[in-house]
């Protein structure tokens, strides 16, 4: 329902604007070892950030709630990954998933492998 309400007040992006948003997302994923699409108030995002910080890993956090195109970015991420929720984490251009997925990757040892690659 919330997305319906916000869609009443936000102007849809043109196809050209959406293509720019998509390229922006793809560039972030390509040019950063670790990218987290996040929202500043999200406790799961905070938990995921703390895990990466504990591991000493630099990462780029894109705060969707603080970006004018945040909703469009989130729409594109859903199209790209099937995941609409945040955090939405990529490591070495591989989609990891959300907070639980990040912690599962740490428990299994996969996270350490990904970060060392």
* Ordered structural domains, the chain, with CATH: 15-116 (3.40.30.10)
**Up-side HSE of residue 84: CA atoms within 13 Å toward CB?**
4
pLDDT at 103 over 80: yes
DSSP for 58-82, written as a single string: --EEEEGGGSTTHHHHHHHHHHHHS
Residue 29 has pLDDT above 60, yes or no: yes
Give the tens place of pLDDT for each residue, 38-86.
999 999 999 999 999 999 999 999 999 999 999 999 999 999 999 999 9
Instruction: Give the gyration radius of the chain's Cα atoms.
Output: 15
What is the separation of C-alpha 93 from the centre of its chain, rounded to a whole number of angstroms?
Answer: 12
Q: What is the pTM of this model?
A: 0.87
């Amino acid at each position: 329902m919330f997305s319906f309400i916000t869609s009443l007040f936000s102007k849809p992006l043109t196809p050209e604007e959406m293509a720019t948003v998509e390229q922006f997302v793809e560039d972030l994923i390509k040019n950063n070892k670790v990218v987290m699409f996040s929202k500043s108030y999200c406790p799961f995002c905070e938990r995921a950030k703390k895990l990466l910080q504990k591991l000493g890993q630099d990462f780029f956090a894109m705060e969707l709630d603080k970006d004018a195109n945040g909703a469009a970015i989130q729409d594109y991420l859903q199209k790209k990954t099937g995941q609409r929720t945040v955090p939405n984490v990529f490591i070495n251009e591989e989609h990891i998933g959300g907070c639980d997925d990040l912690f599962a990757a740490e428990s299994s040892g996969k996270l350490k492998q990904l970060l060392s690659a």
